[in-house]
């Protein structure tokens, strides 16, 4: 049997430093790597607090078709699902840091969830799964 996992997802951004500041200072992610790859290109990875099984690669848009997709990589659907072990803690912290919530938290059969938009307008679910 083989073992596979999704190690990282690329997220289009307009500026490396602006994106790093948002994901680390507002969402509390950890900067894993920031490696120069030429005059205008860097390999930047951030990961949420905890075990860090999946990273976000902050990829600076370089072509017009990439720039056009910043903030809307999924056609307006929720793009990323951020699971937490303490919904109220993280919701309160994010709210105090100005995160753009587009609804009020709600209880679903699978857990507590709220949708927010990141710096670029990408939709995220902040979710605490129900432990049955």
Point out the domain boundary residue: 22, 42, 70: 70
Asked if residue 125 has pLDDT above 90, the reply is yes
Asked if residue 60 and residue 83 are part of one domain, the reply reads: no
Whole-structure pTM over 0.75, yes or no?
yes
Average pLDDT, the chain: 95
Our measurement of the distance from residue 64's CA atom to the centroid of its chain's CA atoms, rounded to an integer in Å, reads 23
Point out the domain boundary residue: 54, 70, 86: 70
The CATH number assigned to the domain holding 124 equals 3.10.180.10
What's the whole-number mean pLDDT along residues 89-94?
98
First to last CA, the chain: 29
HSE-CB at 89 with a 13 A cutoff on CA atoms is: 6
Print the domain residue range for 129.
71-132
How many separate domains does the chain show?
A: 2
From the CB of residue 14, how many other CB atoms can be counted at a distance below 10 Å?
A: 14
Asked if residue 84 and residue 55 are part of one domain, the reply reads: no
Q: Is the distance from CB of 87 to CB of 131 less than 8 angstroms?
A: no
* SS3 label, residue 122: coil
* 96-110 confidence digits (pLDDT tens): 999 999 999 999 999
């Amino acid at each position: 049997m083989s073992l596979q996992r999704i190690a990282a997802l690329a997220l289009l951004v307009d500026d490396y430093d602006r994106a790093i500041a948002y994901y680390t200072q507002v969402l509390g992610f950890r900067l894993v790597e920031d490696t120069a790859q030429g005059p205008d290109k860097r390999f930047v990875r951030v990961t949420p607090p905890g075990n860090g099984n999946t990273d976000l690669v902050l990829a600076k848009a370089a072509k017009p078709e990439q720039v056009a997709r910043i903030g809307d990589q999924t056609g307006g659907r929720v793009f990323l699902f951020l699971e937490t072990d303490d919904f109220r803690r993280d919701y309160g912290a994010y709210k105090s840091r100005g995160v753009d919530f587009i609804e009020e938290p709600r209880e679903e059969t699978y857990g507590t969830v709220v949708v927010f938009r990141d710096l670029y307008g990408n939709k995220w679910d902040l979710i605490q799964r129900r432990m049955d």
